[in-house]
Amino acid sequence: MTEKKKVTKIGVLTSGGDAPGMNAAIRAVVRTGIYYGLEVFGIMRGYNGMLEDDIIPMNSRSVANIIQRGGTILKTARSKDFFETEGRKKAYANLKKYGIDGLVIIGGDGSFRGAQKFANEFDIPCIGIPGTIDKDMAGTDYTIGFDTAVNTAVEAIDKIRDTMDAHDRLFIVEVMGRDAGYIALHSGIATGAENILIPETKTDIEALIHSLTEKEKRKKLVNLIVVAEGEEFGGAEEIAKVIKERVPNADTRVCILGHIQRGGAPSCHDRLVASHMGYYAVESLLIGRHNVMVGVINNKIHYTPLDMAVKERQAIGQEWMKIVKILAS
């Protein structure tokens, strides 16, 4: 068996959508790398920085006073060119100029697909750190940014409830999550939503209308529906249109929270998870555990091969939906 080459210079990048806690992960990667005698380089704007040679040396001072900041000091972007063979060849040539022989990629499934292709084609091992507010990655109980995004949504919905109660209104609140319903599920349960609509379950619009009609008969005029943006019926606006037609007496309003959920200072939990994962990402490169995603399962570090991490999705257990139904009754 061929012995794996010792890693001496590593690059770190953030790719895809930003997530609170990415800076904490960058900080952990840089300082852990330096502690073990590695040279560390920051790659700006995700894979675009690899293609455009936007690569900078980093030291401990480069990551001072960033752990509490949202966003990412390395910037982020999505790169179509990196998914072309010629683009990856150009990126590889730029990395070799600096002698970079290991990569840490902080991002979601699209970022890991790029890392997997790159690692398979060239002699640069890649380690993935799941940084996405959607929590849609298999192989980890937590993704960086999810906890902060959920708490942002909960805080916003709590404020909306004050207006709901004051005006006896029905509010449909749309949260982010792309085609994953975790933000909607967690924020909906935490705010006492009467209905939670997510992509993982088929929306029964007739059952929803029946439920609202029955509540109207009982003079329950205040209702909260939390909807994931990727919900198959079409999102909050489409659902509101149907409700206004079928339950005309309901004073219905829509609030789409949008990108407010991506920003802000990361929660303590996200800072801890990011720091933990960043440390173990560097350790993995050092001991030769290559081309894996660093995750946390049952509060223990867990490693998932990149090709598995991009193929599988974390499923929502049906017991959660049963809990929603019981608690909202």
Q: Which residues of 99-123 are buried (b: 16+ CB within 10 A; e: fewer)?
A: ebbbbbbbbbbbbbbbbbbbbeebe
Is 300 annotated to bind a ligand? Reply is no
Cβ neighbours of 300 (radius 10 Å): 8
Ligand-binding annotation for 186, yes or no, is no
Q: Is 177 annotated as a binding residue?
A: yes
CA–CA distances in Å: residue 145 to residues 95, 107, 208: 28, 10, 31
289 assigned binding-site residue: no
Contact 221, 251 (CB under 8 A): yes
* Sheet order of strands, 9-14 included: 55-58, 39-43, 9-14, 102-107, 126-130, 292-297, 300-305
Q: Which of 134, 136, 147, 270 is catalytic?
A: 134
Q: Is 88 annotated as a binding residue?
A: no
The answer on whether 45 is annotated among ligand-binding residues is no
**Amino acid (one-letter) located at 29:** V
Q: Residue 148 annotated as binding?
A: no
Q: Give the integer Cα–Cα distance in Å for 198 and 213.
A: 21
> In sequence order, what are the beta bridge partners of 300?
297
194 is in an annotated binding site: yes
**319 annotated binding-site participant:** no
> Is 17 marked within a binding site?
yes
Torsion of CA 316, 317, 323, 329, to 10 degrees: 70
107 is in an annotated binding site: no
Question: Locate tokens 């909260």: which residue?
Answer: 224
Q: Is 134 a catalytic residue?
A: yes
Residue type, 109: D
The answer to whether 78 is a known ligand-binding residue is yes
197 annotated to bind ligand: no
Hey, which residues are catalytic here? 134
Tell me the binding residues for ADP.
27-31, 161, 192-194, 218, 220-222
Tell me the binding residues for Mg(2+).
109
Tell me the binding residues.
17, 27-31, 78-79, 108-111, 132-134, 161, 169, 176-178, 192-194, 218, 220-222, 229, 253, 259-262
